[in-house]
Amino acid sequence: MAFFRTVNMSENSPAIERHGVLLRPPQMADYGEWATLREKSRRFLVPWEPTWPADDLTRGSFRRRLKRYAEDQRTDQAYAFFIFRKDDDVLVGGLTLANVRRGVAQAGSLGYWLGEPYVRRGYMTAAVNALVPFSFGTLKLHRLEAACIPTNVASIRLLEKCGFKREGHAREYLCINGVWQDHLLYARLAGDPAVAVM
């Protein structure tokens, strides 16, 4: 049955341009800009992310990250994108569609980060809304899932603005910043109404 087949995405994911942002897979040439933005945004990001390894911002670590991204995409497990402002090609953040499950699930989990200088400017809303058609159309997923810490008000607003519905509360769901934290669970289905982009 075609519904249960995986999608052949062995080549690089296409660049996605919509709503003033460009999503494309990370490349080695992005290392300098990525490392600078992550370092500049460290205090802002650390409370919401898994513990950063000591070598996280090194060139070698970035190279390993790219290899993992390529392998995950080749095996249809995850799709990583950097988010660039379309006007001037400045890196503002990243998002990943991870934990892709085929068969009867046809689902994936959304994760994202935004550099501190670019918060509250609509870039992540634009990026998530740009990824939705790729996820449901190109990848033929049925369900996008996301989870956020209950105190992360900005993330809650983002998900709800992008048409995700709250489905539950998971106790000690993910280890964030070295602590097992409860998360609110959200999802958006392929058949859910389209969301107006502002």
Average pLDDT, integer, range 141-146: 98
**In the predicted model, what is the mean pLDDT of the chain?**
92
- Residue 21 forms part of a structural domain: yes
- Residue 189 forms part of a structural domain: no
Print the domain residue range for 38.
2-141
- Residue 131 forms part of a structural domain: yes
- Residue 177 forms part of a structural domain: no
- Residue 158 forms part of a structural domain: no
The answer to whether residue 1 scores a pLDDT higher than 50 is no
Lowest mean pLDDT among 13-22, 50-59, 102-111, 114-123: 13-22
- Residue 86 forms part of a structural domain: yes
- Residue 44 forms part of a structural domain: yes
The string of pLDDT tens digits covering residues 22-53 is: 999 999 999 999 999 999 999 999 999 999 99
**What CATH number should be reported for the domain holding residue 87?**
3.40.630.30
Tell me the C-alpha distance between 172 and 168, whole Å.
13
Residue 33, helix vs strand vs coil: helix
Angle between helices 31-40 and 59-74 (to 10 degrees): 110
Domain total in the chain? 1
